[in-house]
Amino acid sequence: MLLSRDEIVSATVNAGALRGLLMAFVAVVLSLVQLLTHPKRSQVLLFQRDDEMVVATNAVHEGFKLRFLRDILGEQVTSFTDEDRVRWKSLENDGFYAALYVRTVRKVIMLRLCTMIFDDVFFADRNNRWEHHDSSSTAEPSYSKREMPPLTSWKSSP
């Protein structure tokens, strides 16, 4: 049984259309997977107390950011005491983890470094005044908003 030329062309076109339809389906599935697994914004909380700062983040899974920050700050990074760990434990209820304890670093330098690394930077001074720097679209946000992150268990700076 020999196929005519028109039948061969028709079968080839149908196979090409089926292949194109399959590729489109795979592209839609991959787009949905990427949309559903889109990572959440990395946020950091900076708490200033006298000459020391505590860095808390929700991006613990992105440890390279914290290692980079620790490497830049070097000797200014110290370890938490047991009392400090208990003091900052309440942040874990909101998904933030106290990661670094930094001494003698200026606020401007710390903000600049954190806006280069994280999407959202929240800063609280010793009077519990909050600043929000949204650096998701630029590493140099030109202004800050007076808002605090959605913390449920936070009362004031410990």
Question: Helix, strand, coil: what percent of the chain each, to 5?
Answer: 45, 20, 35
Same domain, 77 and 98: yes
Total number of domains constituting the chain: 2
Residue 20 domain boundaries: 1-38
pLDDT computed for residue 148 by the predictor: 83
Q: Which residues of 18-38 are buried (b: 16+ CB within 10 A; e: fewer)?
A: eeeeeeeeeeeeeeeeeeeee
Same domain, 50 and 89: yes
Same domain, 104 and 87: yes
Same domain, 53 and 122: yes
pLDDT computed for residue 138 by the predictor: 74
Task: Let me know if residue 34 belongs to a domain.
Answer: yes
Quote the tokens at residue 30. Answer: 């991959």
Task: Let me know if residue 151 belongs to a domain.
Answer: no
Q: pTM (2 decimals)?
A: 0.71
The answer to whether 118 touches 126, Cβ cutoff 8 Å, is no
Task: Let me know if residue 150 belongs to a domain.
Answer: no
Biggest CA-to-CA distance, the chain = 91
DSSP state letters, 89-111? GGGGGGT-EEEEEEES--HHHHH
Amino acid at 97: Y
User: In order along the chain (158 residues), what is the average pLDDT of each group of 10 residues?
Assistant: 68 73 85 74 90 89 88 92 91 90 92 90 90 81 81 66
pLDDT computed for residue 150 by the predictor: 80
Task: Let me know if residue 9 belongs to a domain.
Answer: yes
Q: Under 8 Å CB-to-CB from 147, ≥6 apart: which residues?
A: 130, 132
Task: Let me know if residue 144 belongs to a domain.
Answer: no
Same domain, 121 and 49: yes
The answer to whether 17 touches 23, Cβ cutoff 8 Å, is no
